[in-house]
Every structure is written in structure tokens, then in C-alpha cells.
Amino acid sequence: MTEQKLILAVETSCDETSVSVIENGTKLLSNSVLSQIDSHKRFGGVVPEVASRHHVENMTMMVENALETADKTMDDIDAVAVTQGPGLIGALLVGVNAAKALAFAHQKPLIPVHHIAGHVYANQLEQGLKFPLIALIVSGGHTELVYMKDHLNFEVIGETRDDAVGEAYDKVARTIGLSYPGGPIIDQLAAKGEDTYDFPRVWLEPNSYDFSFSGLKSAVINKLHNQKQKGETIIPENVATSFQNSVVEVLVGKAMRACEDYGVKQLIVAGGVASNRGLRQALQQETEKRNIELSIPEPKLCTDNAAMIGAAGYYIYEKGIRGDMSLNGKSSMDLEMYN
Ligand code: KG4
Ligand code: ZN
């Protein structure tokens, strides 16, 4: 029988305070997530100072909750994993310091985890990663295509040159007058509308896997301002469908080309926007046509959570990577750090 390793993981990179207990990087024993969305809604986006304060207020309770749900104590835990970055620095520091305190007080190894590695490893909690694979990472802060030929071997082959896809969703939503975060609301509206606006698809150079969403975002904003000036009626459902079709076509087109060029078995999707129904549907169709396995975590594992940090943390732990008491949060971090 293989030895069981229990990881306690902490995630505070943005506006979710989350603590989880994971067995061998695959089995979820608890995943306590406290979303701060209601506190940030009235400001139309995440306010970093407010996020840090909420993390401080809730951290102890979340650790207790995750241990209790898993029916474990700190004595049972083999290592403490924590999101080191990238993210909001003040928010990250709360998690890093909590993890350091727990590791120090209970004499456990400390494992620094890259937030995006976490999003990728959310897939390890369900279907499991099958190499070689392409990961399409679509969140509020990141849009990336990553090639992996083995565990923790990340090769970033494409990234956004301006806005992240989730950011574009949230900005377009704000222009239509929707609340924060706008991504899920646009997704719902898009299911009811028609593609009447013919927004641009930005492909960049023919061989590029990079993305650019700021042109599309400006096109939507300009079109809406023009319509308003002319006194024309704006149909939010049609704006949503037209915008989402443009985003999905480019994301799916580039992801499929990457899968073919790299000859992979599996496409995994990660990050908050991975819950988008239009994207999920299009990816399902296109991967089926090409006989590529598609892995998308259930929505609660797509948005920020500590379970995914524990899943990645297990492999980082097995690789022998450790943090010490000088570990600091980092607002930006290289995903290829584990190679
Ligand atoms: O991964 P995540 O929880 O946080 C970051 O690390 O950024 O992603 C949050 C982003 C937000 O921009 C939110 O609007 C977007 O994911 N999002 C969606 C959907 N659900 C969340 N965007 C489009 N469609 C959705 N269903
Ligand atoms: Zn995230």
C-alpha cells in the first residue's frame, strides 16, 4: 500500500479565503471556500485592502473548518501548501504568513505553490492529468496556453498581450450596466441572445498562440456608445452573445491548433472562465471531432479554491521543493519555475 500524504493547503491570492485538506494530491477531504464577492460588489471590482482585511479576519476560522470537515488535526498533516503568487500582494501575504505560522508551530514542511499551477491541478482532482497535454488557462488575471509533457513541466506557448479574458468579460459587463463579477451574467445572457453585432476576432500573427482581448473590448464599448448617441435600443442579450462568440471562437481555435501542433492526448481547461457554458460546449464539440480527451473541472473547482493548491502542492512536495520561514508572497511569478 502506498503511503498516504495529507496536505493542508491555503489560498488567498484574490477575493476567496480558502483552506483545504487533500490526500495524495487527488482525494479531496475538505475544501472550505469563503467568497468575499458581496463585499467587493458595490465597488465594481476587488478592492485589495478590503480583500486583505477579510482574509485576516477569516483565516483562523477557515483552517479550523477545513480540518474539522476532513476529520483531521494538524498532527495528521504531512505538509502545509500555500499560494505564493501571482496575485494581490497584501492578500497573498495573509495566506503565506498563516501557512508559515502553521508549519512552524507544528513542525511541518512548507510548500510554495504557483496559483496557475493550482488551477491546472484542479483537473487532477477529477479526470486526472494525462501527458502530453495542453492546458488552456482562462481566469480574471490570466489567459495562457501551456504545454506539459510531465508533472510540473510547464511550457508557456501563448499568453495574452493585454487584457485577460475574465477581465474583458468583467469590463464589457460593466459597460452594459451589469454587476461584478460580470462573466457569469454575460454567460447567462449569451444563451438567450443572437450574434447580431459581428465583433472582431483577433488572431494576431498566423503562427502565434498569443491572445489579445483589448481590441474586442474597445469594439464593444465603442459600438454601445455609438448606439446610445444615435438613440438606438441596446439589446444586452445580443451584445453578450456576439461578444462571447468572438471570445470562444478565438480561444477554441488557438487551443485546437496547439493540440494538433503538439500532438497531445488531452486538453485541460482551468480558471474561472472555464465554467463558461459557451466555451465548454464549443470545446466539447471540437475535441470530440479530433479524438482529444477534454478535462474541465466542475465550476466550484474552476474558481479560486485551496483544493487545487493542495493538488499541485502534493507534486511539488514529492519533488522535494520546500519553502522556509523567509518565504514571501510574490505579485508576479514565472510558471516555468518548477522545470
Ligand atoms: O480564476 P478566477 O476565480 O480568479 C482569478 O484567479 O482571476 O476567475 C475569475 C474570473 C472573473 O473575471 C469572472 O468574471 C470569470 O472568471 N468568470 C466567468 C464565468 N465564471 C467566472 N467568465 C465567463 N463565464 C463564466 N461562466
Ligand atoms: Zn485564479
Residue-wise pLDDT tens for the chain (339 aa)?
Answer: 458 999 999 999 988 899 999 999 999 999 999 887 777 777 777 888 888 898 889 999 999 999 999 999 999 999 999 999 999 999 999 999 999 999 999 999 999 999 999 999 999 999 999 999 999 999 998 999 999 999 999 999 999 999 999 999 999 999 988 988 899 999 999 999 999 999 999 999 989 999 999 999 999 999 999 998 999 988 999 999 999 999 999 999 999 999 999 999 999 999 999 999 999 999 999 999 999 999 999 999 999 999 999 999 999 999 999 999 999 999 999 999 898
In DSSP terms, 155 is beta-bridged to: 147
d(CA 13, CA 330): 10
Residue of 144, 169, 172, 244 with the most ligand 1 atoms within 8 Å of its CB, for mutation: 169
Q: Which atom of ligand 1 is nearest to the CA of 299?
A: 20
d(CA 35, CA 18): 8
Distance, CA 311 to ligand 2 centroid (Å)? 14
* Packing angle, helices 165-176 and 214-229, rounded to 10: 10
Do the strands 79-85 and 293-295 form a parallel or antiparallel pair, or are they unpaired?
unpaired
Amino acid at position 256, single letter: M
Q: Which ligand approaches the C-alpha of residue 302 most closely?
A: 1
Contacting residues for 19 by C-beta, under 8 A, at least 6 apart:
8, 9, 10, 11, 30, 32, 59, 62, 63, 65, 66, 306
Q: Which atom of ligand 1 is nearest to the CA of 13?
A: 6
Residues with CB under 6 A from ligand 1: 14, 139-141, 166, 169-170, 181-184, 187, 271-273, 275-276, 303-304
